[in-house]
Chains A and B, each alone.
Chain A
């Protein structure tokens, strides 16, 4: 035990006690810089990213301002309010003019002639009726690999999965459909398929309108036809659009 331990009221800050000397107390950034392993990596990456941002900002030739160009008040706010009140008015108008219908109470002993979900699930309901497409595999002796209803539920998952992976397949900075006729055609055939599959699911509402086989074939043919048409039209339009786009671009940035 030294003398200062017993007599000193103040903690020692010269580095000889448990308290680090004032001039050696690490700052928070020092502490971050001295860490090891993953946190060290994180620190280095963030420092680097911050520097990159700063460099980009100093290099930029854009006019810089404190806020973005379009003022939130009153311009954007009033426009949003106008649109919001219009939309809500629309909902109230719809509900005043077309109130919901209520069916007979539930009865498990009588099946209604037409069972349908709400309109937004027609596509999913239609996918449950894909039984005719479920292949009978000869390797299983003419058996189907899975039951028809499993096949239908799987079709739902396949559709959702296909939509989910789109951003990982279609890259690049193109935005307009004319710039990418192929992806626009895929999207258009998807839209048409969602309509035709919905029509397939509500076929029981109009039993005499079309022979069922024709409807089933059209469900898959129309999307392909629509996709091809979209592709052809956009490909034709593309030349003119790209000309306009390039002219606008080079007028603003003349080639050196």
Chain B
């Protein structure tokens, strides 16, 4: 025998006196069921607060005040480059996830002229897999386009002075992001493990080795040795599909969040 816990707030009675349609009743009882367990009311309050905060009364923007709409929107394509790079990033993420189903980061015995596992998988994707050719093409092109858009975005920000006073930190964050984009591209370039990838990673190893004191340690850490091998491609793969996506996605969110908070820097 057990005691039924008492419903202090008499939710059932309240529901019955409301005379609701089945849909409304279902919705409310689900809401009450969840709320009893997670007390979502508190979080709803937070959300409501946020909603009203972003709808705070704002002063007229500079563009509106001086009626510069025609001047400003004429340059709109240059102002959407950041959005463009975000789009390309999303396209690359999706096509990259699909490519990840088929790619294998194996390069054992690959440096001897025999095709390695990674190279064989790339060949398989390009020649045998349905739409694999298109998939790799989309991934590669969206990466190229993202890099180009990020460069042009930086030039636009420079030449319209959008990095100035309240936005210095976002400029620094942008520099970190553009560097990470380049690392993204470089690590992806090495994953095919063809001739150019091999020798490009050799150059990377040389660059790491040229750092005074820490050089050998850095080369071991990033490239897994002093000559490109299976370890190199394993590390590049992990960087490309695990490490960088987390970091870059988080930084992009912060970057865009700051733009949202501070507003876009309109040209004067």
Contacts and interface: CB of A to CB of B under 8 A. Distances in A.
A168 interface: yes
A66 B58 CA distance: 7
Contact of B159 (A63, A116, A177): A177
Interface string B69-110: 000000000001001100110010000000000000001001
Nearest to A90: B145
A102 B122 CA distance: 9
Interface in B122-161: 122-123, 126, 133-134, 136-138, 140-142, 144-145, 147-148, 151, 155, 158-161
Contacts of A106: 107, 110-111, 113, 116, 119, 193-195, 197-198, 228
Interface in B206-229: 206-207, 209-212, 227-228
Contacts of A57: 57, 59
Contacts of B144: 118-120
B192 A102 contact: yes
A256 interface: no
Dominant secondary structure at the B interface: helix
Given A63-B60, A99-B133, A117 B112 contact: no
Contact of B141 (A95, A146, A173, A187): A95
B69 to A, nearest CB: 9
Contacts of B197: 103, 106
Interface in B32-82: 55, 57-61, 64-66, 80
Contacts of B80: 83
A253 to B, nearest CB: 10
Interface stretch (A28-36, A132-140, A148-156): A148-156
Interface residues of A, number: 75
Interface string A83-127: 110011011101110111011111111111001111111001100
A184 interface: yes
Contact of B212 (A94, A120, A146): A146
Given A95-B142, A103-B195, 15 more contacts: A69-B60, A94-B145, A99-B133, A99-B134, A107-B195, A108-B198, A109-B112, A109-B113, A120-B144, A121-B182, A147-B210, A150-B212, A167-B164, A174-B161, A252-B66
26 contacts: A63-B60, A87-B84, A95-B134, A95-B140, A102-B194, A103-B192, A103-B196, A105-B110, A105-B113, A105-B114, A105-B119, A105-B195, A116-B200, A121-B185, A121-B186, A150-B210, A150-B211, A150-B212, A152-B210, A160-B175, A175-B160, A175-B268, A176-B161, A179-B268, A180-B161, A183-B161
Interface of A: 57, 60, 62-69, 80, 83-84, 87-88, 90-92, 94-96, 98-100, 102-112, 115-121, 124-125, 128, 146-147, 149-150, 152-153, 160, 163-164, 166-168, 170-177, 179-180, 183-184, 187, 191, 245, 248-249, 252
Interface of B: 55, 57-61, 64-66, 80, 83-84, 87-88, 91, 107, 110-116, 119, 122-123, 126, 133-134, 136-138, 140-142, 144-145, 147-148, 151, 155, 158-165, 167-168, 171-172, 175, 179, 182, 185-186, 189, 192-200, 203, 206-207, 209-212, 227-228, 265-268
